[in-house]
Amino acid sequence: GLGFNEITGKKSVYKPEYVERSLYKLRALGFTAVNSWVLGGGSGYTYDENGLVTGLGDKFVEELTSLLESCRRTEMDLVPTILVHGWGSLFNYEYNGLSPYEIRLKYSRYYYDETARKAYINNGVKKVCEILSKYQDVIPIVNLTVENGTLTNDVENGMIYAEDGVSWKDFASLLNVLHETSKEYMPDIPTSVEDVGWDINGFKYNDLKVDIISPQKYES
Query: How many Å apart are CA 3 and CA 197, to the nearest integer?
Result: 32
Q: Residue 148's pLDDT is what?
A: 67
Residues 6+ away with beta carbon under 8 Å from 160: 152, 153, 154
Rounded Cα distance, 24 and 171, in Å: 37
Report the sign of the C-alpha dihedral through residues 104, 41, 45, 142, in that order. Answer: negative
C-alpha torsion sign, points 101, 106, 108, 109: positive
Contact 107, 101 (CB under 8 A): no
For the chain of 220 residues, list the mean pLDDT of each consecutive stretch of 10.
89 94 97 92 93 97 98 97 72 82 89 96 98 98 83 79 82 94 98 69 78 69
Residue 87 is predicted with a pLDDT of 62
CA distance 215 to 49: 38
What integer pLDDT is reported at residue 191 of this predicted model? 96
